[in-house]
Structure 1
Amino acid sequence: MQFNTTGQAIYLQIVDYVCEKVLLDEYQPEDKLPSVREMGMQLEVNPNTVMRAYEVLKQQGIIHDRRGIGYFISEAAKENALNYRKQEFTNSELPAFFRVLFMLGMEPSDLVPAYESFKTKYVRA
């Protein structure tokens, strides 16, 4: 995983990473996640950072832990990840996006052809 330079905290980038895996069906309910230490080594981050991300994911109902066994994807992970990401997008990314649209004198309807083209390419991938 490559961490971006948007200024978003690394633990939140890990949360987004796991949510993306869930939303793209790469992680299924009851799949076991790497241990905190293993994930830290894979992502080359401090295990405390991974633990913080896992706590957020647990609070959001995306993962659950089995004491002494590890962390697992929750049954409702996809729905919970979708709700979490929608909320984050609405609160964090959408205002800046709308600002750019306004500055460029564009309407959301101007973007429909580009969005349809993106969906066509993305679905094929």
Structure 2
Amino acid sequence: MDFQDKKAIYLQIADYVCEKILLGQWPPGERIPSVRDLGVELEVNPNTVMRTYDFLQQKDIIYNKRGIGFFAADAATDRIKSYRKEQFLETELPQFFRTIYLLDLSLEEIEKRYKAFVEIEFNANKVE
């Protein structure tokens, strides 16, 4: 995983875990990778992954079954969407609006490109 300098690594890993849950790759109620396994996969210190898991537990997105491992909470999808929407609306959207204004982009062009993006990225990946 390529990490950005502007955001703490544990938060970037939290985004990664949340995305896996939202995409259904780690479904709610099912076990997610162990701290050690995810650390190896992402090439980070297990303590960083543990910090991520602690953060996600505080948000009630994952939970720990002592001795068994970590699991995605049943309501994880709703909690992730709520958390990420709040984050997006407060931090990313104002910058997006600023860029649209400065570049004089139309909402029609944004909509057209958004629809093409969804078609390519998500509809092409659906299994029939």
* TM-score, structure 1 as length reference: 0.89
Task: State which drifts further: 56-65 or 34-43.
Answer: 34-43
Alpha-carbon distance between aligned partners in 2 of 1:75 and 1:98, rounded to the nearest angstrom: 34
**In the alignment, which residue of structure 1 is the partner of 2:39?**
40
| Structure 1 segments unaligned to the other structure (5+ residues) | none
**In the alignment, which residue of structure 2 is the partner of 1:80?**
79
Cα drift, residue 6 of structure 1? 4.7
Cα distance, 1:77–1:53 mapped onto 2, change above 3 Å: same
Deviant stretches of 4+, over 6 Å: none
Percentage of pairs with the same residue: 44
Number of aligned residue pairs: give it: 124
Root-mean-square deviation over aligned CA pairs: 1.5
Conservation of the 8 A alpha-carbon contact between 1:19 and 1:85: no
Q: How does 1:110-121 map to 2 (within 5 A)?
A: 110-121=109-120
**In the alignment, which residue of structure 1 is the partner of 2:69?**
70
* TM-score, structure 2 as length reference: 0.87
**In the alignment, which residue of structure 2 is the partner of 1:55?**
54
Alpha-carbon distance between aligned partners in 2 of 1:44 and 1:124, rounded to the nearest angstrom: 30
